[in-house]
Structure 1
Amino acid sequence: MPWSRMPAVSAVSALLVATSVVTTAAAPAPAPRPVRDSVHTAGRVEDGGDVLRYSWPGVYFEGRIRGTGVGVVLDDPAADYDVQVDGATVATLVTPGRTTHWIRGLRDAAHTVRLVKRNDTPWSTSSFGGFVATPGGAVLARPAARSRQIEFIGDSLTAGYGNLSASRECDGEQLKRTTDADVSYGALTARGLRADYQINAYSGQGMVRNYNGSSPEVNYRSFYDRALLNVPGDVWKNPGTWRPQLVVVHLGTNDFSTPVNPGEPWTGESLAAAYRSAYSGFLTKLRQRYGTATTILAVGTGPFAGHVEQVVRERTGAGDRRVRLWALDTSGLDFTGCHWHYSARDHRLLADRLTAFLADLPIRW
């Protein structure tokens, strides 16, 4: 009731009423619900409370809402996204910037919603602020995590580089728009096996030597521990929920696909030796991180196949029976993605071949 319409009261009563009003108005608002409490993700994210920050390609977020619409809260000037509702892609967001993108006109019911980062943007940090419901709706409890987990480690071939392109010739803009980690062999394999997954892939990076000898001061191993790739010294803090039963390592194309340039500190022999040594050390790191029950699948193909095979043979000879070699078969691939990368068709073929190979492994799912 407005003060001007209050009935006459004594000074003491008025003071009591005023005090009561002030006390009620000063009560703190409920703390906002952390984004992580309402979405499921298996990706490497840093929890900022009201946002989740990340850099790797293929990071996805899954939620549930009730109502006729859902808003997707993003702050990302660099990456592209697909928004999926009840399993169907309903929007592709191209470098959305800072926005809440709304999907409206849904049936008034419960819906599952999924947001997935399509491309690799290691120079930028992406931020997701959660899903929000339209008025009258509600954000429901997050979906349950899957019991199976797979981690994919690699370069542009694993990231889905230019896999949707209709041509091998691509400029920078075409490459960004036609890269989709969600239809890479890793994502397809994991979803077929009903597994949560990470795609920790960085285009152009090698185990010891990057594509054409670029940026010799770093390599893939310089970035592997990070959640935010453009933040030197960043270290992803595993919340304790990421315990993959399978890790797939596909690194070596960039090390060996281009000739050693004048001025690089390599000969063919020394590069091969350094690659094998670094690869073995990296597998040791993975084994220490994830334990003896995790199967590590080392991918060997092309000019580095023999080196990977040698590393695996040495490790199994030393007693590590859960390191296996996958001799990736490239027969029948068309390599019509940007710059001779795997096409979407190639990724489907590889996912089928990998799934068949995994069926014969004693993975402790």
Structure 2
Amino acid sequence: MSSPWLRMLLAPAASLALLGPSATATAAPDGSGVAASVHTAGRVQDAGDVLRYSWPGVYFEGRVRGTAVGVVLDDPAADYDVQVDGATVATLVTPGSTTHWVRGLRDGVHTVRLVKRNDTPWSTSSFGGFVAAPGGAVLARPAARSRQIEFIGDSLTAGYGNLSTSRDCTGEQVARTTNADVGYGALTARRLRADHQLNAYSGLGMVRNYNGGSPEVTYRSFYDRALLNVPGDVWHAPGTWRPGLVVVHLGTNDFSTPLNPGEPWTDDTLAAAYRAAYAGFLEKLRTRHGPGATLLAVGAGPFAGHVEQVVEERAAAGDRRVRFWRLDDTGLDHGGCHWHYSARDHRLLADRLTSHLADLPIRW
């Protein structure tokens, strides 16, 4: 599964990307910046005239009256889908500093959604809002959904290469064929009519990264951030973000490759360190989200037993809302880039996860 794309993802972070030339736009409905005119559940940093972010799958939803809508972006690294009234009308590939216009709409009120397709943790993305053509207007933002889900994971959760027609991919092909919005997390959230975050970082594990790379960091090094390439950044969750469900799918990178000479582990000490870190991470999530949130720990392959052990120990200590889900990979083709889940696999997993969640005592 080694690839140039994974090596890029594990490389030192690049500098921030700032919003370029501004576009002519109607003001936000209450005049208080971009955040007032769009709905998002993602981890964003509000800079007033722009929203900045890094994680994959971040989405923005708005309402515009008129025959055209503009999307103000500055992003040299990521790809986006633009959706109007529920249909994808454009895919923007590394758009840079631009206002992309969707024209020729019927004159009336339209819903518009912008979603970041791939993971670009070395770069910071900037969104400057939706704008209306002359004679139109940006309307009040759509209401938030009553259900909220946070997905925590690696490339499998990010949708790495899930649209590829080949398992052999260059870094460029991985970038263009990754679409977090058709991954199992986003699909599950839509089926449950929930807002969601996809806090996924390709190549990283709980204590060990893919093939032992970048040993100075792990997924836990970045979890608290909104801007992944800004050391020390901390996302301050708004009071409106209270997920009833948190799904953790970390461990593939810890165990999918043999230990290399010079790594500070044996098979047994790696497993013990993984279980200890996992237990601490679940405790962190419980402290952050409170006793009412359901924590669903996903186990698969060689790490499933370790996850199950951690969950059993936590449940025995009195945590009534922690659960283990053994991921059923029966029938998956792993046809995405470098043997990752294909889009078909993601749909099957969303089916299975949605079915499993129906039996959980989730407090929405």
Question: Which residues in structure 2 correspond to 1:334-353 (within 5 Å)?
Answer: 334-353=333-352
Q: Does 1:34 align with 2:33?
A: yes
Question: Which residues in structure 2 correspond to 1:222-301 (within 5 Å)?
Answer: 222-301=221-300
Q: 1:31 to 1:63 in 2, by over 3 A?
A: closer
The aligned residue for residue 203 of structure 1 is 202
Q: Within 2, Cα distance between the matches of 1:32 and 1:323?
A: 42
Q: Within 1, Cα distance between the matches of 2:80 and 2:240?
A: 25
The aligned residue for residue 57 of structure 2 is 58
How many residues are matched? 336
The aligned residue for residue 131 of structure 1 is 130
Percent of matched pairs sharing the same residue = 83
Question: Which residues in structure 2 correspond to 1:1-365 (within 5 Å)?
Answer: 33-365=32-364
- In the alignment, is the contact (CA less than 8 A) between 2:151 and 2:185 conserved in 1? yes
Q: 1:60-82 CA distances to partner (integer Å, 9 max, x unpaired)?
A: 00000000000000000000000
TM-aligned CA deviation for residue 241 of structure 1: 1.1
TM-aligned CA deviation for residue 33 of structure 1: 3.8
Q: Within 2, Cα distance between the matches of 1:267 and 1:353?
A: 34
Q: Within 2, Cα distance between the matches of 1:323 and 1:211?
A: 27
AA matched with 2:161:
G
Superposed CA RMSD in Å reads 1.0
TM-aligned CA deviation for residue 156 of structure 1: 0.0
- Say which SS state the counterpart of residue 105 (structure 1) adopts: coil
Q: 1:319-341 CA distances to partner (integer Å, 9 max, x unpaired)?
A: 00100001100000000000000
Q: Within 2, Cα distance between the matches of 1:107 and 1:192?
A: 29
**Which structure: larger Rg?**
1
- Say which SS state the counterpart of residue 188 (structure 1) adopts: helix
Q: 1:5-63 CA distances to partner (integer Å, 9 max, x unpaired)?
A: xxxxxxxxxxxxxxxxxxxxxxxxx9954000000000000000000000000000000
Q: 1:258-302 CA distances to partner (integer Å, 9 max, x unpaired)?
A: 001000000000000000000000000000000000000000110
AA matched with 2:52:
R
- In the alignment, is the contact (CA less than 8 A) between 2:53 and 2:227 conserved in 1? yes
TM-aligned CA deviation for residue 239 of structure 1: 1.5
- State the TM-score, normalizing by the size of structure 1: 0.91
AA matched with 1:150:
I
- In the alignment, is the contact (CA less than 8 A) between 2:79 and 2:116 conserved in 1? yes
Q: Within 2, Cα distance between the matches of 1:209 and 1:44?
A: 25
TM-aligned CA deviation for residue 240 of structure 1: 1.2
TM-aligned CA deviation for residue 350 of structure 1: 0.1
Q: Within 1, Cα distance between the matches of 2:44 and 2:30?
A: 22
Q: Within 1, Cα distance between the matches of 2:179 and 2:260?
A: 31
The aligned residue for residue 8 of structure 2 is none
- Say which SS state the counterpart of residue 247 (structure 1) adopts: strand
Higher relative contact order (CA 8 A, sep 6+): 2
AA matched with 2:167:
R
The aligned residue for residue 27 of structure 1 is none
Q: Within 2, Cα distance between the matches of 1:340 and 1:31?
A: 48
Q: 1:151-201 CA distances to partner (integer Å, 9 max, x unpaired)?
A: 000000000000000000000110000000000000000011000000000
Q: Within 1, Cα distance between the matches of 2:238 and 2:261?
A: 45
Moved over 3 A (4+): 30-33
TM-aligned CA deviation for residue 362 of structure 1: 1.0
TM-aligned CA deviation for residue 83 of structure 1: 0.1
Q: 1:31 to 1:181 in 2, by over 3 A?
A: closer
Q: 1:31 to 1:247 in 2, by over 3 A?
A: closer
